[in-house]
Amino acid sequence: MKFTTLFGTICLALACGSYRAPAQAPPTHSEVQDIRREMDQLRQDYERRMRALDERLKRIETPITAAGTNAAPGVAVPSPASPALTVTATAPESSTNATAARQAAIDRGREFAKEQFQQDGEMLDRDLAQPTNGYLKQRVEQVLQDFVDISGYVRAGYGRDSQGGPQVGFQAPGALAKYRLGNEAENYGELAFGKNWYVPGIFSTDAQERPNGTPTGPIARTQVRLSFYDPYSAYNSSESTQFGVPEAWAAIGNVVPAQPSMKFWAGNRFFERSDIHINDFFFRNMSGGGGGVEDIQLPFGQLSLAWIGNGSESDLYTDVPSPNTPANSAGFSKGNWDLRLYEVPLPFGKGDFNFIYANTQTGLDQDGNSLSQMDGFAVYFLHLAKPLIDPNSFNLFSLQFGTGPAKTFTSGFETLTFDGKPYIRPDPNDSWRFRATEHLVVQPWEHFSIGPALLYQYTEYGNGFGNQTWISAGMRPVVEFNKYFSLAFEGGVDYVANSLTGTSGNLFKLTLAPQVALGNRFFSRPVLRAYITYAQWSDAFVGRVGGQDYQNLSNGFSYGLQMETWW
């Protein structure tokens, strides 16, 4: 055919990239007609073949019954007695229902894993996890489609002090915390990446479930948290920015049939943290490296057991320190066995009971010296009442007593400064500490919320190191004008008396901060605030508060702008 020859020639030329229009005369009228007839014939052949394929497809899709009824004409259906394979077509509705049921079981398994792996083990945060920024968290999870969850905390801004320098924090010497509103002189942030793992039917084609709807397959979680710290005093210096990895851990649960909530974990993590928000004081903080088992379900609560370790370096502080000698440090190691009974129903709320055994040892310094092993124990009691007047209100009360190295109520160490040189503070076996805290957040009216706090702490350091008393009281009332604009006040006073140094005094701090927030609740975040802070302290603290700018003063103020958010 002329068309076939011409078409093949053109295709070959195009494939070789060298086709050029022929120099010969255009085809005649009869040649054009021949080409059109051949194209019509090819089109008819194509349509006929497509109709035949369509008929075959319809016959294949027609349901085949065991008796051969409703079979498409021309399709042979084996009889039940035939040795040939009997094919039974499944109705599309049944297949769809089975797929939907399996997906529903998978979704329930994912929700089970999400409930089992809270972001941390903090007593209060478990209850605040849902109402705080719940919509934002749900939206992020929808976008990520359960691939990974991202949580974090960030505060950033800038402030100046009344002397013209960068803002500094006003904190009483010897106090372990300061009232934070308008008194944070740094940018700080955390970013955590976590993944809940649920593998349905890993050894079966079905997503097996218990009668209560929970999955029987294993669940797991991995989490890594990054942090940064950047003080206002060196705002543009990358050398002053500190980065860390405070969390890197994994946990596996739902592997003991009788204890589906029980989980095993290992790594470095935030563990048993409880704080007073307005002064950012973690009065219980067993974060560190180690492992354990948690969420063992009992008839009257849950049980956990963990071994948490911590390490550091310091010169060996003795009764006669020599701060002018060259550095001669040794390694300090601390181990903590932590037994905890929690989620215990009590009048007006629930309780948390802790017993901790701790021991500290040191390696050798360059002269071969070391300190003897020190041991101690601690007991805690926490009571959480939630809700109170409104769904978002709570009251958190705690009592703590510890001896030796366990009196820090953390997995690590406390430091002291002698002649300008820092040391890890010794924890002799006869040292002890008692602490009581009270933290309340309540919103009695739509446009008013308040968060007061009280703290008392007494410490006997032993071995002639004296004793110290720390008493703190403060509150943060917030007036919400509408859903977005508010005015926050914060006042706080810290009293510290130290028998070793023979000093005692107090520091008073007051802050005024207009705010714009995403909501009209005490914990609505993100929040943008401007602030001005005034502080005054006793003469005994002059030269020990506010750094160089306030070395000869007993009062000062600062001002600035700040954002704060968590999700």
pLDDT tens track for 402-445: 999 999 999 999 988 777 778 888 899 899 999 999 999 999 99
Does residue 92 sit within a domain?
no
- Cα separation, 321 vs 416, in Å, equals 12
Residue ranges in 117-189 assigned as alpha helix (H): 123-128, 134-144
Does residue 88 sit within a domain?
no
Does residue 94 sit within a domain?
no
Same-domain status, 212 and 332: yes
Residue 337 has pLDDT above 60, yes or no: yes
pLDDT digits (tens, 9 = 90+) for 161-203: 999 999 999 999 999 999 999 999 999 999 999 988 876 555 4
Provide the pLDDT for residue 209.
74
pLDDT digits (tens, 9 = 90+) for 224-267: 999 999 999 988 777 788 999 999 999 999 999 899 999 999 99
Spatial contact of 401 and 378, defined as CB atoms under 8 Å apart: yes
Same-domain status, 116 and 250: yes
Quickly state the pLDDT bin for 144 (edges 50, 70, 90): low
Q: Based on the structure, what is the number of domains in the chain?
A: 2
CA terminus-to-terminus distance, the chain: 74
Q: Which of 28, 44, 61 is the last residue of a domain?
A: 61
Same-domain status, 156 and 16: no
Residue 34 has pLDDT above 80, yes or no: no
- Cα separation, 212 vs 214, in Å, equals 6
Q: Is the pTM of this model over 0.95?
A: no
Same-domain status, 447 and 551: yes
The residues near 47 (Cβ < 8 Å, ≥ 6 apart) are none
Does residue 543 sit within a domain?
yes
Does residue 97 sit within a domain?
no
Same-domain status, 50 and 113: no
Same-domain status, 41 and 110: no
Residues of the domain holding 11: 2-61
Quickly state the pLDDT bin for 49 (edges 50, 70, 90): confident
Tell me which H or E stretch contains 11. helix 2-16
Same-domain status, 125 and 229: yes
User: Which of 63-67, 72-76, 104-108 has maximum average pLDDT?
Assistant: 104-108
Same-domain status, 30 and 126: no
Residue 447 has pLDDT above 80, yes or no: yes
Provide the pLDDT for residue 119.
57
Residue 91 has pLDDT above 60, yes or no: no
Same-domain status, 350 and 201: yes
Mean pLDDT estimate for the chain: 82
Does residue 431 sit within a domain?
yes
Does residue 22 sit within a domain?
yes
Spatial contact of 358 and 404, defined as CB atoms under 8 Å apart: yes
Same-domain status, 43 and 188: no
- Cα separation, 510 vs 87, in Å, equals 82
536, HSE (Cβ side, Cα atoms, 13 Å): 2
Provide the pLDDT for residue 325.
55
Does residue 325 sit within a domain?
yes
Q: Which residue has the higher pLDDT, 19 or 136?
A: 136
Spatial contact of 442 and 464, defined as CB atoms under 8 Å apart: no
pLDDT digits (tens, 9 = 90+) for 212-225: 767 778 889 999 99
Same-domain status, 17 and 142: no
The residues near 426 (Cβ < 8 Å, ≥ 6 apart) are 317, 371, 374, 461, 463, 465
Quickly state the pLDDT bin for 69 (edges 50, 70, 90): very low
Same-domain status, 55 and 114: no
Residue 142 has pLDDT above 70, yes or no: no
Q: Which residue has the higher pLDDT, 78 or 273?
A: 273
- Cα separation, 465 vs 159, in Å, equals 38
Domain CATH code at residue 310? 2.40.170.10
Residue 3 has pLDDT above 80, yes or no: no
Spatial contact of 491 and 454, defined as CB atoms under 8 Å apart: no
